[in-house]
Amino acid sequence: MKTPDSGRIRSSLRDALLESRSHDGTWPYVSGKQGRLEPTCWALLALGRADGRGPDLEALKGWRRRDNWLIDVDGAPPNQAFNGFAGVTCLAQPHGRDLIAPLAARVIEAKGARFPSSDVIRLDASLQAWSWVDGTASWVEPTAWCLLFLKKYVKFAPAPVAAERISVGERLLLDRACVDGGWNYGNTKVFGKDLWPYVPTTALALMAMQDRRMEPVIQQSLAQLEKDVASERSMSALALTIICLRVFGIPQGQVQRDLYALVERNQTQWRDNLLGVAMALYALEPGQGADAFAL
C-alpha cells in the first residue's frame, strides 16, 4: 500500500480550512454558507493545533449570546451540545477560562426534561443529563459534550454543584450504552430489539468517560469502537476515533493511515464537509502539548 504523503495532506487540509473561513472569522458546515458554532470550534482547534499555539478564540469572544448561551441560529433555541463543545474549545487556551464562567453556569443549570418510563424503550428515564435543546429529553451527544466540558472546567474552578451534574451525566452514558458496548444517539433497546452503536457517538462518549476507563462498559465500548471503525468509515468517524484512542493512550496507526487515504480520496468533497476536514486535521496533526479533549 502506498504510504500517504502525510505532511502534504495535512497542509492541504489546513489550506482548505483557511480558504473557507467567513469574513467574520467563523466557519460554516459547507463552504460559502453561514458561519456556525460547531464547525467554527473544530476549525479553531484544528488550526490552533497545526500552528502549535492553541485555538485563536477571537471568533468565540464576539459570538452572539442570549442568556449566556452562545447562539448558533438566530430565532432557534440554544444548542446545548455545541455550547458544551465551545466550552471545551475555550479551555484549550489558558485565557479562554475567563470567557466561559457564565457558560459553565448555564451548562451546570441545564437539564434534560424528565419523561415517564416506558415498557417499550429501555432506559432509566429518571436521569436528566443534557438535551440538544431545552425542554427535550437527554441524549448521548449533548451529554458527552457537556460532561467533558464540566470535567475539564472543575479542574480549575471547583464547583460543588457541578459534581452532581457530572455524576448524572456519567450515569446516563452508562445507562445508554448498547448491549455490546458503544453508543448511538441514545436509545439502546426499543420494542425489545437491541439497537446498534455508531462510531462517532461512541468515540465522543468514550472521551467524556476517559477518567472512568476501568468501568467494564468503557472497556467493552473501546473494543467495540476498534471493531466498528474498520467498517463504518467517514472522515468524522475516523477522526473522532483517532482523537478518542489518543486520549486513552491507545495506538492509532492503522486508523490514521485509513484517514489519510480517505481524506485524499474525498478531496473533491471537502468543500461540502468542512466539519470532516477540521476534525481530520485535528486528528492527524501530531500537535504539541495537551490534547484539547484530554482530561
Partner 1 sequence: MRWSPGRGQTRLRFDDRMPDAHRSLSQLTRRGFVATLAAPVLYAGCRQGRPYDSRRFTVPSRSAVGLFPASSYAVDFADLISRGLRELGVHLAGRRVFLKPNMVEYERDTAINTHPSVVVGAAVACRRAGAAEVVVGEGPGHRRDIEYLLAATGLNDQLREERIRFVDLNHDDVRMTPLASSFTNQTALALPVELLKADFVISMPKLKTHHWAGLTCSMKNLFGTVPGAVYGWPKNVLHLYGIPNSIVDLTATVRPHLAIVDAVTAMEGDGPIMGRPRALGFVAMGTDPVAVDATCARVIGLNPDRIDYLHQAAEFLGVIDAGRIDQRGEPVSRYATRFEVIAELEYLRQQT
Q: Where does this chain bind partner 1 (CB under 8 A)? A: 28-30, 33-34, 36, 38, 72-77, 79, 81, 113, 115-121, 125, 131-133, 135-137, 139, 141-142, 184-187, 190-191, 193, 195-196, 198-201, 232-237, 266, 269, 272-273, 275-276
Residue bearing cell 415498557: 119
- To partner 1, the closest distance from the beta carbon of 174 in angstroms equals 20
Please state, in angstroms and rounded to a whole number, the distance separating the CA atoms of residues 71 and 37: 8
The nearer residue to partner 1, 6 or 266, going by C-beta atoms, is 266
C-alpha to C-alpha distance for 96 and 75, rounded to whole angstroms: 27
Which one, 1 or 76, has the nearer CB to partner 1?
76
Cα 51 to Cα 18, 113, 289, 294, distances in angstroms: 12, 41, 12, 19
Task: Report the interhelical angle of 274-284 vs 253-265 (nearest 10°).
Answer: 140
The CB-of-156 to partner 1 minimum distance in angstroms stands at: 29
**Whole-number minimum distance, CB 230 to partner 1, in Å?**
13
Question: Is residue 33 a contact partner of residue 43, using CB atoms and an 8 Å limit?
Answer: no
CB of 240 to partner 1, least distance (A): 10
Q: Which is nearer to partner 1, 1 or 120 (CB)?
A: 120
Our CB check for partner 1 shows the closer of 192 and 251 to be 192
Name the residue nearer to partner 1 (CB basis): 67 or 74: 74
Rounded CA separation 181/222 (Å): 8
Residue 230 CA: distances (Å) to CA of 133, 186, 233, 255, 258: 33, 22, 7, 8, 9
Pick between residue 18 and residue 113 the one whose CB is nearest to partner 1. 113
Residue 237 Cβ vs partner 1, minimum distance, rounded to whole Å: 6
How many of the other CB atoms lie within 10 Å of CB of 119? Answer: 7
CB of 186 to partner 1, least distance (A): 8
